[in-house]
Structure 1
Amino acid sequence: MDRLTNTIRPYAWGSTTAIPALLGVEPTGEPQAEMWMGAHPGAPSRLDRGAGETTLAAVIDADPEGELGAAAVAKFGPRLPFLLKILAAGAPLSLQVHPDLAQARAGFEDEERRGVPIDAGHRNYKDANHKPELICALTPFDGLCGFRPPAEAADLLEGLGVDSLKPYVDLLRAHPEEAALREVLTAVLTADRAEMAHTVAEAAAAAERLGGPYEAYAGLVHDYPGDPGVIAAMLLNHVRLQPGEAMFLGAGIPHAYLDGLGVELMANSDNVLRCGLTPKHVDVPELLKVVDFEPSAPGVLRPEGDGEEVYETPIDEFRLSRHVLAPGGAPRALPDATPQILLCTAGAPRVGELALAPGESVFVPAGEKTELSGTGTVFRATVVL
């Protein structure tokens, strides 16, 4: 097994304190948004097997079956199919959706055919993979997920008492649910920017004054003044996860993370279509092809099982579980049929002979037997065969 050295990404929305607090180091004063664990080419983990430091991606490329196992390579190809992260939101992330596998492949092939540079700001599809994801809270964690029922969204908008929102309120009450949400989101994202900026300012002032159900939305305008995503966000459910609770986000589900520290596990992709709360490119026509407009309550997941507590999802590319190791407990042998990344988030557990501190992680190749011991919390990321 290999202790991993991981890259921390300094996106502007990142917390300046949450990841340093987990790692037990002094903050730098700069935002630290995500720590990546895996073989994604954007920031692959690094390791040293005695011949100098290399990347996990290079190790897997050199011997896919030896590292991932023949069954995983046959099912997912010669790449680690998941990416594990620690995510620390100090400000809202962009309101976004992810394509399904067919949409990702078609979109990627189209942009490749048209010669859109992979690093272009208006590029929608960075790869040909889908990006379902799971976020598990380490601290209280606020997010937005899925559309509210249109009648509920209409009541929320109407309660702000902003005249320029009345046409959206009427649309939400006059059409079938999915058609209503599609029409309103389209109208919000394509409205005159100057007029929308005025609407957003009025809505944010009312939300701040009213509090209660508007509290989650009131702060958005401070980070994204005039952004139509502030109004679009009010069409979505607000959810607050408690530590240990998780939320699964499938293709087409609009979502945004607002605040908190969590463990995130996703398919190995970087495909994001943005709806707002961002200075980046928003491709409304392409977005509307991908968004799932069916209203849906955010499903809060709690781990199930004794010993290994599993967060059940409908995805084979990744599987997240948690081991909470109590003092005096017997060592726990781990299954060895699949590749796995083990991440410590609390305490002082051991993986085999390796001692881990919070924020440290190891890669265990398929076929390598190991066990957990000591005390603390370890998250296990692997695949489903």
Structure 2
Amino acid sequence: MDRLVNTVRPYAWGSTTAIPELLGVAPSGTPQAEMWMGAHPGAPSRTGRGPLDELVAEDPVSELGRATVARFGPRLPFLFKVLAAGAPLSLQVHPDLDQARAGYAAEEAAGIPFDDPRRNYKDPHHKPELICALTPFHGLCGFRDPAEAADTMAALDVDSLKPYVDLLRAHPEEAALREVLTAILTADHAELAHTVTEAAHAAARLGGAHTAYARIAHHFPTDPGVLAAMLLNPVTLQPGEALYLGAGVPHAYIDGLGVEIMANSDNVLRCGLTPKHVDVPELLRVVRFEPGEPGILRPEASASGEEVYDTPIDEFRLSRYVRAADAAPTDLTAPTPQILLAVDGALRLRGAGADGGLSLDQGESVFVPAGEKTELSGRGTVFRATVAA
């Protein structure tokens, strides 16, 4: 097994304190947004044997296991992260597998460079993801009932929002959501900026359920995404609760610390709350205009003590172990590759050799190749990222 040295991404929306506190290091004073654990070429984890992406490329069967390579090719099929949001992330959706393959092929054929801001598809893979809260975590996920969205906008008493309110109340649900989101994203930004400003001031005055929109507008004062956010379900996760985000589901994280696992892809289509490119026609093709309550996941415990977050995806599987000091050692040996992350306590991993193994303290992580003998002992909480069997 390999202790990981991981890259922390300093995106502007990151918290200045949450990841340093987890790692037990002094804050740098700059935002620390995501700590990447895995073999993504953009920021591969480093080991004593070399960068993880190079180790996988040199001998994929030894690192990933024959079955994983047969299913997903010679690549680690998931990316594991610690995510610390100190400000709202962009409002976004991800394509399904067929859409990703078609979009990637089309952009390759068109010769659009990877660093071109118009490029939507960086790879031919889908990007379902799961976020699990380590602290209270706030976000937006999926379309709410159009009538609820209409009530939210109507309560602001902003004249220029009334056409959206009327549309949301007059049409069948999916048609209403499509028409209103399209109207928001295709409106003249200069003209819409005044509406966003009025709506933000009204949301601040009302408080309560409208507070989130005022906070989003504080960071993006004239962005149409402030209005688009009112079409989505607000979600609060308590520590240990998780949210699965499938293809076509619009979402945004607002604040909090969590662990995130996703299929190893970089395909994002943005709806707003960002200075980056928004491809409205492609976005509207990918978004699923299906209202419904977001399903909050709680882990299901097994006899072995493993608590599993059940998702309908094969590229990743997330679970955790919450261990007492007197708990018997747990065998974690698996035919799939694993990344283990400790979020509290003092744990220890032992392999098949006679040495003392590795300590695993808060914020530390290791990569375990497929089939390698691994035993977990000690006290604390460890998250286990692997591939669905």
- What TM-score bracket applies, with the shorter chain setting the length? over 0.9
Secondary structure in 2 matching 1:356: strand
In the alignment, which of 30, 52, 57 is matched to residue 56 of structure 1? 52
Count the aligned residue pairs.
Answer: 381
1:1-385 matches, cutoff 5 A: 1-49=1-49, 54-306=50-302, 307-352=305-350, 353-385=357-389
Residue aligning to 2:354:
none
| 1:202-249 deviation digits (Å, cap 9, x = unpaired) | 000000000111111111111111000000000000000000000000
Secondary structure in 1 matching 2:300: coil
| 1:127-153 deviation digits (Å, cap 9, x = unpaired) | 110000000000000000000010110
CA distance in 2, matches of 1:335, 1:308: 13
Secondary structure in 1 matching 2:301: coil
Out of 96-105 and 327-336, give the one that drifted further.
327-336
Secondary structure in 2 matching 1:238: strand
CA distance in 2, matches of 1:194, 1:316: 44
CA distance in 2, matches of 1:218, 1:332: 47
Secondary structure in 2 matching 1:219: helix
| Amino acid in structure 1 at the alignment position of 2:55 | V
**How much does 1:195 deviate?**
1.6
Q: Structure 2 unaligned runs (5+)?
A: 351-356
| Amino acid in structure 1 at the alignment position of 2:17 | T
Secondary structure in 1 matching 2:361: coil
CA distance in 2, matches of 1:133, 1:43: 18
What is the TM-score normalised by the length of structure 1? 0.98
Q: Structure 1 unaligned runs (5+)?
A: none
CA distance in 2, matches of 1:40, 1:274: 21
| Amino acid in structure 1 at the alignment position of 2:314 | D
Q: Which runs of 4+ in 1 moved over 3 A?
A: none
| Amino acid in structure 2 at the alignment position of 1:281 | H
CA distance in 1, matches of 2:228, 2:174: 15
| 1:344-364 deviation digits (Å, cap 9, x = unpaired) | 111111121110121110000
| Amino acid in structure 2 at the alignment position of 1:323 | Y
Out of 352-361 and 124-133, give the one that drifted further.
352-361
| 1:227-277 deviation digits (Å, cap 9, x = unpaired) | 000000000000000000000000000000000000000000000000000
| Amino acid in structure 2 at the alignment position of 1:351 | L
Root mean square deviation of aligned Cα: 0.7
**How much does 1:372 deviate?**
0.8
